């Protein structure tokens, strides 16, 4: 049996997920949406990793693979040294209480026919944890932990705001005392004024409960607030992995484009960006080339580097040969043939200033 590292809480090894379909009404040629194409990631206990990319790049599919809600076409999901594919359904169900998910839409993820108290107590009943009194006490404990009180117990999801419903969803994810939380776009459906509150809550819970996060988002603005590391995903592949504190030293052109979009966001949306005397971002817009065109089809991804159809630095090797993730320094990996020629994002700013 293959040995896995005991240093990692979660390991994703060579994950591939294809969704086959037949083209044509009469069952024509078999094709497949290549949603995830050979992803390797790992998380140590207590870490927080943000997975960032445009919509449709495979982030949510990767989250479902990590939760074993769907099975991979190839590759392994290892939790605490155990390959989830080796587990029987009963064993997987028992282990799954240690990793839980927060969903994007707090309304659709809650049963409208169940009160908040019933919703939170249900996982405790399903796993036979505690007496009814102990279960009720724990429900109230988790409600308080997310900023709600006992007045919520007998209410139903439609009686709450979007932010309150997400707090209930977070409380539900905590009921079984998990080690790992996979948060799939947990703030994207919320008003901007509520997003910061939920981010602060998640950060506070991580510190208090020693949680490990896989935080999935399309929004690079939030990663420095919630994560230690960032993995940038494009068309089913990881193209750069870098510590959150060193994002400005990123070297992949796609990461630069995402950072460039963030640099033009108003201060009220992202106050942590450097600002000029007018209150606008001091990042020079002249140094940013906003991406043109759409993400290529995952049914027929481009040859070579998947990003070459939109990359401002593209050369012939990019069209022909797929780049591998290579280490530049500790905890910083980039998949780019031209990494020696592409300046860091901060260097671009200095050159344009």
Tokens of 228: 């230690």
Query: Helices then strands (H, E): number in the chain?
Result: 10, 12
Report phi then psi at 172, rounded to 5.
Answer: -60, -40
pLDDT of residue 270: 43
Contact 158, 112 (CB under 8 A): yes
By three-state DSSP, how is residue 59 classified? Answer: helix
Task: Return the HEC string of 257-268.
Answer: HHHHHHCCCCCC
Q: How do strand 212-217 and strand 10-22 relate by DSSP bridges?
A: unpaired
- What is the C-alpha separation between 252 and 232, in angstroms, rounded? 9
pLDDT one-digit tens code per residue, 52-78 = 999 889 999 999 999 999 999 999 999
pLDDT at 286: 32
Q: 293-309 burial, b if ≥16 CB within 10 A, otherwise e?
A: eebbebeebbebbbbbb
Report the chain's C-alpha Rg in angstroms.
Answer: 22
Tokens encoding 125: 């009943």
Q: Please list the ranges in the chain whose pLDDT falls under 70.
A: 1-6, 24-28, 263-290, 346-353
Nearest to 49 by CA among 287, 220, 299, 228: 228
Spatial CA neighbour of 290 closest among 257, 325, 320: 257
Residue 278's pLDDT is what?
Answer: 37
């Amino acid at each position: 049996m293959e040995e896995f590292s005991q240093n990692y809480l979660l390991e994703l090894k060579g994950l591939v997920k294809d969704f086959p379909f037949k083209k044509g009404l009469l069952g024509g040629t078999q094709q497949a949406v290549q949603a995830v194409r050979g992803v390797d990631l790992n998380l140590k206990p207590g870490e927080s990793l943000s997975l960032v990319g445009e919509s449709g790049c495979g982030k949510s599919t990767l989250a479902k693979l990590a939760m074993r809600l769907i099975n991979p076409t190839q590759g392994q999901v290892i939790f605490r040294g155990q390959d989830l594919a080796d587990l029987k359904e009963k064993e997987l169900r028992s282990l799954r209480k240690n990793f839980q998910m927060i969903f994007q839409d707090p309304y659709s993820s809650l049963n409208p026919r169940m009160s908040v108290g019933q919703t939170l107590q249900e996982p405790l009943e399903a796993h036979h944890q505690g007496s009814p009194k102990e279960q009720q006490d724990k429900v109230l404990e988790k409600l308080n932990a997310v900023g709600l009180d006992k007045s919520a117990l007998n209410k139903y999801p439609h009686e709450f705001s979007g932010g309150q419903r997400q707090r209930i969803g977070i409380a539900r994810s905590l009921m079984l005392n998990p080690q790992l939380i996979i948060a799939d776009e947990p703030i994207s459906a919320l008003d901007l004024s509520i997003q910061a509150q939920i981010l602060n809550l998640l950060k506070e819970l991580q510190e208090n409960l020693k949680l490990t996060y896989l935080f999935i988002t399309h929004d690079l603005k939030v990663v420095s607030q919630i994560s230690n590391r960032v993995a940038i995903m494009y068309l089913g592949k990881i193209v750069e992995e870098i510590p959150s504190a060193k994002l400005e030293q990123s070297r992949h052109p796609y990461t630069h484009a995402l950072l460039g979009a963030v640099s033009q966001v108003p201060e009220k949306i992202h106050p942590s960006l450097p600002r000029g005397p007018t209150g606008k971002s001091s990042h020079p817009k002249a140094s940013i080339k906003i991406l043109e065109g759409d993400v290529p089809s995952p049914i027929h991804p481009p040859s070579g580097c998947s990003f070459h159809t939109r990359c401002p630095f593209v050369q012939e090797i990019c069209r022909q040969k797929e780049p591998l993730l290579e280490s530049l320094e500790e905890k910083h990996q980039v998949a780019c043939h031209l990494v020696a020629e592409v300046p860091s994002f901060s260097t671009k700013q200095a050159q344009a200033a």
